[in-house]
Structure 1
Amino acid sequence: MVDTKIRKESYGIIISLDLSIFYGSSTQDILTQVQAAVSEGVEFYTSINVLAINVRAMRVAKKRSKESIDAMKAKLHYEPGSL
């Protein structure tokens, strides 16, 4: 998620979400699913009335391979006394 804004109104809240989407994903399906999941989750767990959920895809991200993730983790691995 890139950015989240919540605006309080007299009868509930309006939530705006700006997301990163992986390249090759079905953007419309993902945005619709996020919108429904956030609305249902907020109303269920907080009993706050959700007036609107505005969801936008702001950026397209490339999926990383397992090898590149492992290499990045190896670079970030901290050994005590190694500094």
Structure 2
Amino acid sequence: MSEDQTALLNEVSDVLESVLNKKVELKPEMNIVNDLGLDSIAVMNFTMALEDKFDISIPLNDMASVVTVQDLLDTLQTLRSAA
């Protein structure tokens, strides 16, 4: 994992911790729903918090293809570079 991705992972982890109000150790291979136990409302809150944090808009069709934390990191990097 590159230095940029590690920094992004830490930022995403901070956002998730603020949404869940608990400490979370994210790993790239983790399944966002199954491993983190997020329900649909938590996923939406997490998505909105990420949009606020990174000042981006995450299209729903992009989020539909996000399964793992690595998928999320890749999507965020793509959206941030396009902004």
TM-score (norm 2): 0.29
Larger Rg: 1
Which one has a larger percent strand, Structure 1 or Structure 2? 1
Which one has a larger percent helix, Structure 1 or Structure 2? 2
TM-score (norm 1): 0.29
